[in-house]
Chain A
Amino acid sequence: DAGITQSPRYKITETGRQVTLMCHQTWSHSYMFWYRQDLGHGLRLIYYSAAADITDKGEVPDGYVVSRSKTENFPLTLESATRSQTSVYFCASTGLALTDTQYFGPGTRLTVL
C-alpha cells in the first residue's frame, strides 16, 4: 500500500540496548521527520531530513541518531536506550515544501525497561 509505514509497531527493550525504528514512505517526499509523543509534552521534533544525506536536529535530538541514504527511508536509532526514551515515535513526511501538510505514520510504541 502507498503511504508512510513504520516498523515495528511495538517494541520492548532493555536499558543500554541499541534499537532502530524504521520509517518508509512511497510518495518520494523530500522532507521526513521523527517526533516523539509523551503525555504532558505533546509531540516534539527529534530530527528531520530535507533530502537524502541531509539531516538536521530538532528540539530533542540527544540520544538519537538518524540516517537517510535513500529518499524513501528514514531510520531512527537509539544508540543506548534509556527509560526516558519510552515513548510513542511518529515518522512524518511532506512533499513540496517544508511548510506543506505533514503526513504521519501509525507510530511505534517503544518501552525501555
Chain B
Amino acid sequence: KQEVTQIPAALSVPEGENLVLNCSFTDSAIYNLQWFRQDPGKGLTSLLLIQSSQREQTSGRLNASLDKSSGRSTLYIAASQPGDSATYLCAVRPGYNTDKLIFGTGTRLQVFP
C-alpha cells in the first residue's frame, strides 16, 4: 500500500532563506507526483507536477525534484517570502488509470519578516 510522508510537519524560517520541503513515498511505481499549496481556509493550488520520467520541474522560485528509485521528492523554495507561508502538500498518482491521488499530510511553513 502506497504511503506518502512529509517531514517536518511544521517549519519556521526567516525571510530570505532558501528552504527544502521533503516528500517520501513507499512504492516507487508512480505515474506522477504533484506539489500543492494550501492557504488557511482555502482550497489547494497546484504548484508543480512531475511526470515519472522527469527529474525536476521549475516554476519561478520553486523547483521540485523527483527520485523515484529512492522514493523521494523535494520542493526547493528560493529566497523565501512571508507570502510563501502556507501548508505544502505532495500527492502521488500510483498509475495511469487510477482515480486516486495519495496525499501526504503536509508541511506547514511559516516565513517571518
Contacts and interface: CB of A to CB of B under 8 A. Distances in A.
Contact of A107 (B42, B97, B104): B42
Interface string A11-43: 000000000000000000000010000001111
B100 A59 contact: yes
A58 to B, nearest CB: 6
Contact of A102 (B42, B97, B101): B101
Size class of the contact patch on chain B = 20 to 34
Interface string B82-113: 00000001010100111111011110000000
B43 A42 contact: no
Contacts of A42: 4, 89, 103-106
Given A43-B89, A99-B31, A58 B44 contact: no
B27 to A, nearest CB: 16
A64 to B, nearest CB: 15
Contacts of B98: 98
A106 B99 CA distance: 21
A3 to B, nearest CB: 10
A30 to B, nearest CB: 13
A74 interface: no
Interface residues of A, number: 24
Interface in B30-57: 31-32, 34, 36, 41-46, 49
B36 to A, nearest CB: 8
9 contacts: A41-B105, A42-B104, A42-B106, A43-B91, A45-B101, A58-B99, A99-B31, A103-B46, A105-B43
Interface of A: 4, 33, 40-45, 48, 56, 58-59, 90, 92, 98-107
Interface of B: 4, 31-32, 34, 36, 41-46, 49, 89, 91, 93, 96-101, 103-106
